[in-house]
Each structure stands twice: as C-alpha cells, then as structure tokens.
Amino acid sequence: MNILRVWGGGTYESDICYEWADEKGILIWQDMMFACALYPVDEDFLNNVKKEINHQIRRLRHHPSVLVWTGNNENHVAIKSNWWQSANYSTETMIDDYLKLYKETIGSIVKELDPSRPYLLSSPSNGAVTEQYGGMDDNPNSEFYGDVHFYSETKNLWKDFSYMIPRCATEYGVQSLPLK
C-alpha cells in the first residue's frame, strides 16, 4: 500500500500535494494539526477549531487520496502515559477535555461533512476498539489493533524479535549508528 501520513505536528499541505497524490494513486492519512499537547476547550478556542476543521474538510474531502481523518497525534497515548502529571489538572479532567475537543467537536464536524471516511480520534489508536471504550482506552498503542508508533532506543535492534509486528505502523524511528 502506498500511503503518506500528514502528521498532526506539522501543517496542512497545499492543494498541489493532494492533487499529486490523487494523480499518482498515493493515499493520505490526514491528521488534524494537534500534537503532543493539551489544548483548551473554552468557547473561543473551540469556535476557532470549528472554523479550521470546517475549512480543511471542505477543502480536502473531494480528494480520493484522503483515506482517513485523525484528530491528533499522540494526545491519547500521552494522557494514558502520564506525560503531563499535574496537581491542578487531573487525568479525569484531561480525558473530559480530550473527548470534548476530539470526539464532540472535531469528530462531529468530520462525520457531518465527510461521512464516507473513517475518523480516528488520535494516532496511535486502536480504531474500533477505542470507540467501544467511548474514545479513551488504556493502551492506544497496542500492536494488536489499529495503528502504532514504534520507537525503541533501548532494545537490541539487530535482532528481528525486537520489532513489533503491528497491523499498521504510522510512525517509527530508531537510533542511528554514530558517523565515526
């Protein structure tokens, strides 16, 4: 399968990128531009998000190259892995805010404007399994479901058994050997 992921920590690509992908038969995994952070869910911010998502879905939905929409990069796994421990911002509140932004706000817009494509709240995600848990399961990076992100700086990567065998790896990386 030929697929490129437009990563949520980057930028929405220009129209020419999607036109090229359509022409060449390259599929696009399209993240929304939210990554590795907690975002506010106040009215002003959500109104701004609604405008952005409306614009991008309307702009890109006619491209056959777009395979899937994704709400964010790694915010689900970050909450479940305690990246942002805080005495004044509980995990429960983080989850509530996460679901308000990615499920209720972005998800409802995507499903309304482009019901023909799947929408995942996050990458990595367990896909349908995550949905069964209301949008927040315990291990969104499971190699048995959905997509995974694989980074393993501490394992002996000369051995094949060191690598996951996931259904879909949407992000991966390893340490390189020194130049000298």
Read out DSSP for 4-52?
EEE-TTS-PPPHHHHHHHHHHT-EEEEE-S-BSS----SHHHHHHHHHH
Residues whose CB falls within 8 Å of the CB of residue 54, separated by 6 or more in sequence, listed in order:
109, 113
Residues whose CB falls within 8 Å of the CB of residue 165, separated by 6 or more in sequence, listed in order:
143
Kindly state the tokens that stand for 171. Answer: 């992000």
Q: Is 171 a catalytic residue?
A: no
Catalytic residue among 43, 52, 74, 153: 74
Q: What value, to the nearest 5°, has the Cα angle with vertex 61 and ends 104 and 25?
A: 130
Q: Any idea which residues carry the catalytic annotation?
A: 74
